[in-house]
Amino acid sequence: MDDSVFLPRDLPMWQDAKPYLDVRNNDEHTIVAYGLARFLLTQIPEADESVVLPAILLHDVGWKMIPEDLLLLAIGRHPTRLDLVRDHELEGVRIAREILERHRPEGVDIDAVLEIIDGHDTVKEARSLNDAVMKDADKGWRCTWHGMRTIAGWYDVPLHEVLQMLRERSNPMMLTDAGRLYAEAQTATMAAELEIETFLGRAPEHGPPRRKEGKTTW
């Protein structure tokens, strides 16, 4: 892997996708999940990067079509609007098709990309290896520092509550050995970092600011 995040092939699609990703931190999520997808592809070379990477780049563009005040009703421990999750997938397929057909990136099977965007949240099992890698990159974002801080901010919960959610609900959903190992390693190191103050009597000298403890809504 080189030092850039996006492959040159995918940069024009990123520019077209950005206006659809400026809700619910989806623009930030997409960048981090794309980077994770590239890592997972190094561990799972049998998967097809020309399907996985365009799919993870475009998978959440459909959230732009959902009223912003309803977004948090579709996610979390007790979502009340699961219909919106399906709606964002259908809208995502429509928007992603427009972007893919506009650019027609060389070597990319547009139908194969759209097939795994459709159902990326509502279909829990893997329908193919490409689907599994894309879903693991999407869900694996939750275990990154960015993902954990973002989730804590959405619900105003402490990081240890996010960590508990990941261990109980998210990590078991990982579909590949590489994805599962990544998720478990991330949560193990986060659990250790949250105990630094316990063992040293002070907060970590470096790293992102810690959130204050608060009541959980999970």
Q: Per residue in 191-213, pLDDT tens?
A: 999 999 899 998 888 765 444 44
Report residue 38 as tokens: 């590239």
Question: Tell me, what CATH number does 63's domain have?
Answer: 1.10.3210.10
* Nearest-5° Cα angle at 150, 181 to 157: 100
Question: Contact 41/133 with Cβ under 8 angstroms?
Answer: yes
Residue 216 has a pLDDT of: 45
Which among 129, 112, 131, 108 has a CA at the least distance from the CA of 121? 131
In a domain, 151, yes or no: yes
The Cβ-side half-sphere exposure at 180, using a 13 Å CA radius, reads: 8
> 191 lies in a domain?
yes
158-163: list long-range contacts, CB under 8 Å, 24+ apart. 158/211, 158/212, 158/213, 158/214, 158/216, 159/190, 159/194, 159/210, 159/211, 160/194, 161/216, 161/218, 163/187, 163/190, 163/191, 163/194
Domain range for residue 39?
Answer: 8-200
In the prediction, which pLDDT does 77 show?
65
Residue 206 lies in a domain: no
Q: Cβ–Cβ contacts within 10 Å for residue 75, how many? A: 16
Residue 141, in any domain of the structure: yes
Residues 6+ apart with CB under 8 A from 112: 48, 51, 130
- pLDDT for position 46: 98
Does a structural domain hold residue 156? yes
In a domain, 49, yes or no: yes
16 part of a folded domain? yes
Q: From CA 212, how far away is CA 61, in angstroms rounded?
A: 32
Query: Of 43, 74, 2, 28, which Cα lies nearest the Cα of 174?
Result: 43
Residue 4's pLDDT band, with cuts at 50, 70 and 90, is confident
pLDDT tens sequence across 32-66: 999 999 999 999 999 999 999 999 999 999 999 98
Residue 199 burial by CB count (10 A; 0-12/13-18/19+): exposed, middle or buried?
Answer: exposed
**Number of domains the chain contains:** 1
Kindly state whether residue 213 falls inside one of the protein's structural domains: no
